[in-house]
Amino acid sequence: MSLSLDDPANRVAVSPRLVVPALGLTQILAWGSSFYLPAVLAQPVASDTGWSLTWVVGGLSIGLLIAGLTSPFVGRQIHRYGGRPVLAASSILLSAGLFGLALAPNLAVFVLCWVVLGFGMSAGLYDAAFSTLGHLFGRAARHHIAVLTLFGGLASTVCWPLSAYMVTELGWRGACAVYAVIQIALCLPLHLLVLPKTAARTANRDEIDIAPVDAQRDKSAAMSFRSSPVFLLLAVTITIGSTVSTVVSVHLLTILQAQGIALAAAVALGALIGPAQVGARFIEILVGRYHHPIWTKIASVTLVALGLGLLWSGAPIVFLALIFYGAGIGLESIARATLPLELYGSRDYALIVGKIARPSLIAQAAAPSIGAFLIETLGAQESLAAIVLLAGANVLLAAILFGITRSPPKQGIVPRF
């Protein structure tokens, strides 16, 4: 039976002024205690245990692979039950995985704990948080999603120094244990107390009008959007963007040093990317209401390709290249969340985000190894050229997507423009 959002009993009085900052804090801690954790802990873990550094770092790849495989399931649960139980489960899973890392007696258990963390990342990182906001606030979630990415952009800034401090004072096992306690003592209560219990969400009138009442709607909707050329293009461009950004993030220092830049200077230059991301997202928050999200997508892929192209060219403006690149990946986080919301509406949003996240996360899992293989086989500069070509192809695909989405809609391709 279809839920009537016109019924006041089914409406949820939720304030974004409470929900967004709460989710912002839990996002910082979720990213910092999972995705960004190996950047600080990998070397101490390998040095302390004698385990292979490749396998220690590879735990993250395994976690991302698990997150990608399970993301459609997570999207379905948010679609049916709302974000509260899913995000609460993520806190429990992340805590369990982190406690497991802290106690891991051998490498096999350590890697197995990353499988648990993978389930937690699937249920607790951006895609789940975006889906939750879309479920709660409908099309109005676009602005709230952009604000949430500002918090997410601070994850490495906050958690890398915090992780380094804890490793120094408590050791890497102690750092994992503290993050596990934070997930249970802080993030879990926030998810349970701030998010509404009901799966119902606020909605505006035009969303209600376009909602079918067919009891079999979920299955037919899933089949229709997966076969849509718009959905396929959207998934491909997001996957390429994730691949490019992950390869560059992991291997940036190697690429810069191959161009004759000293390590200290390379680190300083790399530090420009974070502020560029946050700056671009802040600008999008200010002007996003005045344009369609497809323009955000076009800007993001263009800036990434431009920045990497300048970096590859060897022009003596590396700082500008990295600012362009950082701004591009900053906007990409917003585009990947808001463009599906605008194209498909909020009713199937969690389902769509879950489906799109699968290839993207799997690509992120494979990207560091692919980048390493390219650098070892071709060299850093030639590998950068291949990445530039891939980024350029993404600009072309985004342009095609622009052409389709700005044309009069055909029946069955996109529910609403």
Question: In sequence order, which residues have a C-beta less than 8 Å from that of residue 75 and are 6 or more positions away?
Answer: 127, 131, 350, 351, 352, 353, 354, 355, 357
pTM greater than the 0.75 cutoff: yes
| Contacts within 8 Å (CB) and 24+ apart, 137-140 | 137/14, 137/16, 137/201, 137/202, 137/346, 138/201, 138/202, 138/203, 138/204, 138/207, 138/345, 138/346, 139/204, 139/207, 139/341, 139/342, 139/345, 139/346, 140/16, 140/202, 140/204
Whether 298 and 399 have beta carbons less than 8 Å apart is answered as yes
What pLDDT, in 10s, does the model give residues 80-93? 888 899 999 999 99
Compute φ and ψ for 373, nearest 5 degrees: -65, -45
Residue 252 to residues 39, 245, 257, 352: CA-CA distances in angstroms? 13, 10, 9, 32
Range in 66-80, 203-217, 296-310, 334-348 the model is least confident about: 203-217
What pLDDT, in 10s, does the model give residues 2-37? 333 333 344 456 788 889 999 999 999 999 999 888
With a pLDDT cut of 90, the percent of the chain lying above it is 37
> Which domains, from first to last, does the chain contain?
8-205 (1.20.1250.20), 215-405 (1.20.1250.20)
User: Averaged over 190-204, what is the pLDDT?
Assistant: 71
CA pseudo-torsion sign 25, 29, 35, 39: positive
Most confidently predicted of 162-166, 219-223, 368-372, 407-411: 162-166
pLDDT reading at 76 higher than 80: yes
Place of tokens 């067919």: 214
User: Averaged over 304-323, what is the pLDDT?
Assistant: 90
Most confidently predicted of 83-87, 139-143, 204-208: 83-87
pLDDT reading at 118 higher than 90: yes
User: In the structure encoding, which two tokens stand for residue 277, read together?
Assistant: 């991301």
User: What does the alpha-carbon distance between residue 203 and residue 138 come to, in Å, rounded to a whole number?
Assistant: 5
Whether 277 and 330 have beta carbons less than 8 Å apart is answered as yes
User: In the structure encoding, which two tokens stand for residue 236, read together?
Assistant: 């491909």
As to burial, measured by CB atoms within 10 angstroms (0-12 exposed, 13-18 middle, 19+ buried), residue 131 is buried
Give one word for 292, left, alpha or beta, with left for phi > 0 and alpha for psi -120 to 50. beta
pLDDT reading at 319 higher than 60: yes
pLDDT of amino acid 220: 43
The mean pLDDT of the chain is 83
pLDDT reading at 411 higher than 70: no
What pLDDT, in 10s, does the model give residues 40-52? 888 889 889 999 8
User: Averaged over 324-334, what is the pLDDT?
Assistant: 91
For the chain, first and last CA: distance in Å?
27
User: What does the alpha-carbon distance between residue 95 and residue 186 come to, in Å, rounded to a whole number?
Assistant: 11
What pLDDT, in 10s, does the model give residues 264-311? 888 788 778 888 888 998 898 888 788 888 899 999 999 999 999 999
Residue 171 to residues 37, 47, 245, 292: CA-CA distances in angstroms? 13, 11, 30, 48
**204 confidence band (pLDDT: 50, 70, 90):** very low
**211 confidence band (pLDDT: 50, 70, 90):** very low
pLDDT of amino acid 186: 96
Q: How many CB atoms lie within 10 A of CB 51?
A: 19
User: In the structure encoding, which two tokens stand for residue 160, read together?
Assistant: 């890398």
Q: Of 264, 31, 55, whose CA–CA distance to 152 is shortest?
A: 31
